[in-house]
Structure 1
Amino acid sequence: MIVAGSDCRSSCSCAGLKDYFPGENCGTLRNNEDRGIKIPRQLGRGPSSFIPVEEILKEGAESAPRRLFIEAFVSTGRVDNIIIVLGLHPEYLSCFWKTQYLLLRMDGPLPYHKRHYIAIMAAARHQCSYLVGFHMGEFLQAGGDPEWLQGLHCAPQKLRNLNEINKILAHRPWLITKEHIEALLKTGENSWSLAELIQALVLLTHYHSLASFVFGCGVNPEIDQEGGHAFWPPSPRSCDSSPASDDGVNSSNGKDAMQEVEVLMERMKLLQECQLEEEGVTQEEMETRFELEKTESLLVAPSVDIAEHTLPPNVLCFVEDPEFSYKDFMRRGEQAPPTFRAQDYTWEDHGYSLINRLYPDVGQLLDKKFQVVYNLTYNTIAMHHGVDTSMLRRAIWNYVHCVFGIRYDDYDYGEVNQLLELSLKIYIKTVDCYPERATKRMYTRFWRHFKHSEKVHINLLLLEARMQAALLYALRAITRYMT
């Protein structure tokens, strides 16, 4: 979709049709139907199947800096649907765009076509045909060999050697060891340099996490991608095909949704008061609360009635060992891997310094991106203004790290259960651990009275918390190899 919504002044849900009928508006379409002309309707509903296009317009896409949309268009020939959804948060979009541009299009250790191939490998692990299809096109434009796109078995052995660390990073990053790093760096003629490997690891974690965002926000394919250029049969006289209940808040549950907001506000207030009054909690108690939250996370999973998706051939061909998937960090009756104590290997003191030494420009951009999303706030919650949301943001970030086995000694994990309702936990764990199973129903069931931009904000936290967690495991393994 080309700059969809960026220059559209209508909040009509037919705004997305302007890509297909330039110069037409809702009134024109209705008049044509009145004259007996049957108008086909676009199959997609704009950039996201979860977020009505008029909400994207109303909640911020029009206010996003046009410079960012123009830069995207000039450099890639399009403003894709991911960028449009990210336009709800311009400050973050700026950091995201600079980072992705540097990873894919600026000087670096890896040739450009191999960067896109690594992106394909990463996205395929989560069955993200949106990203796989996009980067197949970019791979060819960068001069890549079309034969490689027949499947991973057709790629050079050096790239195929990334498969093991790709699948571990995507699903169980705590299993990465210095031996995995050594195997890549010491494989004769197919060995990786340390600089190449760092760029590859950043690309892998970036696209694993971006797949989470795509599924978590229901991002639609562009009209020139498979599944994007299609139409409903000729429409009835209404140009709004969205059911009233799609936003998850209607007359039957609006009161309950409002109550959820007030309960969350009250819990935040009580926790803030307790923090002021409570004397220091012992480290033993803090560790116990973490272990309890980690154990309870075993019960958080998508509904068992979610159908398994059959991998399309153009995705399956890039996946070896497709049965390998997320497995709870600690399962009943099993010996759990040792908990990653965040203080022993922090991003600020260890991960950032290592990556900044080996890949300096991207290290600085990643650091800024993490900081921007962690601190991003408009001091609002639903209809409330002037709210300090730092406690809620930290609970979400730390819960993501918890399900990946990372513990912060100075954080009380009792706050997670107080602030994150079960439906939100299910959504968080699904989006970050098995995003291909995320559904619109999950998206609509949590925080039903919140704005879509606030739910997108949640997805930004999930994207970056997941990426940082995987990078910490990978960089720790590199550090152990180097020492």
Structure 2
Amino acid sequence: MEADLPHSTLSPTLEEELARDTRARQLQSFRLRIALFKPLQTVSDEEREVALDRIIEVAQSYLHIARAPFSPCRKFLFSPFYFSSEARATFDPACSSPPLSPEDEFSVQALESKLEADNADDQLQHFLLTILRLSKTCPFADVRHTLSHFLQTVSEASTVPVPRPAHHSPSYFISLKDIFSLESTPCDSAIMSYPRPSNFQRSSWSHEISWTVSDTEPREPCLVSPATDTTTCDDGRTTGGRPTDDYIRQMFVRLFLEEGRITNVFRVMAFFPTFYEIYHLTYTEILKSSTGPLPPTWKIYLGIMAAAEHGCQYLVSLLKLEFLQAQGNAKWLKGIHHCPVKLQRISLILLKMARQPWRLRLQDIVTLIGGMPGSPRQDAWSKGELVQAILVMATVLGLSTFVLGCGIAPEVDMRGGYTVAGNSILDVYPCEGIERELDQTLTLMVEEEQEAIRAASSATGWHDSSILLFEDQDENEDLVKKRGADLITKLQSYTSSLSSPKSCPNFTWKHDTPWTGFSDKGHDTDANENEPVRYPAYEDLSRFADPVADKDIQRQDFEQVKEQYDPFMLGVYCWEDHGCDIVNQFLPGVGDDLDDEFTEALSITDWSLFLHMTDAAIDTTPLRHAIWYYTQRLLGVIKEDYNYEDFAAYLNDRSKDYIKRACCFPHQLGAFDWNNMGLPLRAEEKCHMILLIASAKKQALICYALALIEQVL
């Protein structure tokens, strides 16, 4: 059939001109949208009201001229598939404008006309997706209520398809009733139910914003039980089932004022607000700030490479959006062979860090810094650039582990995060999200796109059809309950041995909170428990890795090869005494902030474990240390003064297996793993376990690379 398809007769010059014009229109539309929504990032009710009126006015103007937003047909404009009669027959008549006639289908005028019409559709699509996101995740109730009402009105008018969230919770595994509400509650002064350091005090997040809740602003009810389900309210004001105190509320507001978006990964990481304060600072310093020798787009692209290596579609989509908004070259997103040679050459280091860090060698670093024989000098890395690149890659590898372990769902305005009612074609050809607003390079044909999904499935371990995320294969509840009781006894003995002033009564299961196994699969209450869910792997992520190194370096844990390689001894080189200093040398202050991040991850606790217990105070330090050092041992890192017999005391076989999968094979994690960690952990405790794994992994990878960089003269 392909031999009979027409081919473009446009000259390269005209094609380039059309592409340039299209890019200009995209930039203009993007800047208009940003300018319209930016005024919502204010604590002033009056300013937000004016901005909302303007947003709705512009959106209504697009409603009058747009024809087919959320149509997959437009991406086939320059594809031969678009012109086949078989393809045209699959689309709804209202899907887009009729195909061009044979005599003028490649005329410049016809193409320009088509581009103009599609531009209006694209603008409306991006407007509606942004409105949908803010109607669900904006911390200001007036914004959520107004935009929800607008979407409801448009939907009832049936003029254009209206998007709706594909997932109500920010996580596939955690029910929305367990997520912190975006609104503070009337009883917030009594709430302090999240892990934090023992010496916790309110921080700058609570004091730098002169904001108070208006007496007239709608507020969530105070939920006395986390099991209370308030997630079905349809007015957009209910944003989570867990009460939020003023400290966390101020964090939500601060983040929105700074970035205009509260991401799903932050909604989950808000379980640990004191940690997130520090993590947000270091993440911004490492990936977003202008500090250091690497350009912002290079740092973001390194992040894309790292996220793709772990098969983390969620972070790849987020970082692609940031990359394009930072005016990165969209051609780089075609794959690693389209980016500068200098970036291509670091792929080997990335793959070794992610899969077999013990295989990193001094020669790998020398080759990067000295350059390949005969290669231009500009392709060589400086020590400062390499230190910064290592921090970026280790940060995103760690964050990818957290995202995949916690089952973070796609952002509501990105591909996989929304659905469109009544448009069955989107089930076959899903529309792109806001992350592709400025990207015109990946206009794949349907056959190519399906092949890309299959390749992504093969590379990441996810099937390309349907995946049953919510498997009903929980461990025996009596066995898990016994493990929990045994661990509590050991932790209480540890606490008593330290003569802790805190009271630690004998462990008992609370009678009013009976053990029910793992019946809550972590998805929305209105979802079908047996419904297969497609996990978001929408593209061939292997294109961001060097194909030769990708084939040569397989994922392993150190136990498989410990007879062949020497372990990394923290007594010789450790983060606290060495790594922190070299980071501060090239990025002043960042090393100290990272040190605070690692310390915070390891120290936060709510002095309890498993189900809530009356008057219980459990010091979980041995358990947290066991998770941390077991993770690092899987990577070949040994701490000489740690008692490794604690592994047998505080970790059971199932817990060890989970840590191994999360550390070394995070792309394989699914709901079965989430539901079977070997202990009856609460949702936030599971997230803390994953956070410890991700942080310990991040620190180990940084130490491996920095120890070699320091050896280069």
TM-score category (smaller protein): 0.7 to 0.9
Give 1:358 shift.
1.5
| Partner amino acid, structure 2, of 1:268 | L
CA deviations on 1:273-309 (whole Å, 9 max, x unpaired) are 8999xxxxxxxxxxxxxxxxxxxxxxxxxxxxxxxx9
1:140 maps to which of 310, 320, 324? 324
Contact 2:332 2:338 in 1 (8 A): yes
- Corresponding residue for residue 317 of structure 1: 543
Residues 61 and 361 (structure 1), Cα distance of their counterparts in 2 relative to 1, 3 Å cut: farther
Question: In the alignment, what sits opposite 2:414?
Answer: 225
Q: Tell me, in whole angstroms, the C-alpha distance in 2 between the residues paired with 1:19 and 1:177.
A: 57
Decide whether the 8 Å contact of 2:139 with 2:256 is kept in 1.
no
CA separation of 1:147 and 1:459: change in aligned 2, threshold 3 A: same
Aligned residue for 1:328? 557
* Aligned equivalent of 2:680: 449
Q: Confirm whether residue 107 of structure 1 aligns to residue 333 of structure 2.
A: no
Normalising by structure 2, report the TM-score: 0.54
Map 1:297-312 to 2 at 5 A.
312=538
Q: Say if 2:301 and 2:323, in contact at 8 Å, map to a contact too.
A: yes
C-alpha change, 1:24 and 1:152, in structure 2 (3 Å) is closer
Q: Larger Cα Rg: Structure 1 or Structure 2?
A: 2
Q: Does 1:72 align with 2:255?
A: yes
Give, in whole Å, the separation in 2 of the partners of 1:19 and 1:432.
43
Of 420-429 and 163-172, deviating more is 420-429
Q: Do the aligned residues in 2 keep the contact of 1:3 with 1:69 (CA within 8 Å)?
A: no
What is the aligned partner in structure 2 of residue 199 from structure 1? 388
Residue 327 (structure 1) shift: 1.6
The count of corresponding residues between Structure 1 and Structure 2 is 419
Residue 402 in 1 paired to residue 610 in 2?
Answer: no
Residues 400, 462 of structure 1: 8 Å contact kept: yes
Give the 3 Å change call, closer, same or farther, for CA 7–76 of structure 1 in structure 2: closer
- Residue in 2 that maps onto 1:170: 354
Alpha-carbon offset, residue 147 of structure 1? 1.0
Q: Which amino acid aligns with 1:165?
A: I
Offset of 1:129 from its aligned partner?
1.0
What corresponds to 1:46 in structure 2? 169
**In the alignment, which of 490, 497, 501 is matched to residue 267 of structure 1?**
490
The structure whose residues are more often helix, as a share, is 1
Aligned to 2:457: none
CA distance in 1, matches of 2:712, 2:363: 8
Distance in 1 between residues matched to 2:285 and 2:164, nearest whole Å: 38
Q: CA deviation at 1:171?
A: 1.0
CA pair 479-3 structure 1, distance change in 2 beyond 3 A: farther
Corresponding position of 1:474:
705
CA 1:479–1:437 in 2, change beyond 3 Å: closer, same or farther?
A: same
> 1:247 and 1:311, CA in 2 relative to 1: closer, same or farther beyond 3 A?
closer
Name the CA distance, whole Å, in 1 between partners of 2:494 and 2:473.
28
Q: After superposition, what is the alpha-carbon deviation per residue over 1:54-94, rounded to whole angstroms, capped at 9, x for unaligned?
A: 11135867235233323332333211101110111100110
Asked whether the 8 Å contact 2:278–2:593 carries over to 1, the reply is: yes
2 CA distance for matches of 1:60 and 1:130? 24
Matches of 2:325 and 2:394 in 1, distance apart?
A: 23
Matched with 1:363 is 591
CA contact (8 A) 1:5 1:61 kept: no
Structure 1 residues 76 and 463: CA distance shift in structure 2, 3 A: same
Structure 2 equivalent of residue 283 of structure 1: none
The alignment's TM-score, normalised by the length of structure 1, stands at: 0.79
The reply on whether 1:84 has 2:312 as its aligned counterpart is: no
Are 1:126 and 2:315 counterparts?
no
CA distance in 1, matches of 2:419, 2:587: 42
- CA deviation vs aligned residue, 1:116-160 (integer Å, no higher than 9, x gap): 111101111111111111111111110111111111100011111
CA contact (8 A) 1:41 1:233 kept: no
Q: Shift of the alpha carbon at 1:380? A: 0.8
Structure 1 residue runs of 5 or longer lacking an equivalent are 10-16, 26-31, 33-38, 235-244, 277-308
State the shift of 1:246 in Å.
Answer: 6.6
Where does residue 377 of structure 1 map in the other structure?
605
Residue by residue over 1:314-347, the C-alpha shift from the partner in whole angstroms, topping out at 9 and shown as x without a partner, is 5222122344332232437x84211111111111
Distance apart, 1:230 and its partner CA: 2.1
Taking the aligned partners of 2:275 and 2:589, their CA distance within structure 1 comes to: 18
Does the 8 A contact of 1:373 with 1:464 survive in 2?
yes
Query: Partner residue of 1:340?
Result: 568
What's the CA shift for 1:429?
Answer: 1.1
- Given that 2:492 and 2:619 are in contact with CA atoms closer than 8 Å, whether structure 1 keeps it comes out as no
Paired residues of 1:158 and 1:192 also in contact (CA < 8 A): yes
2:402 is aligned to 213
C-alpha separation between the residues in 2 aligned to 1:377 and 1:339? 30
64-73 vs 219-228, which moves further:
64-73
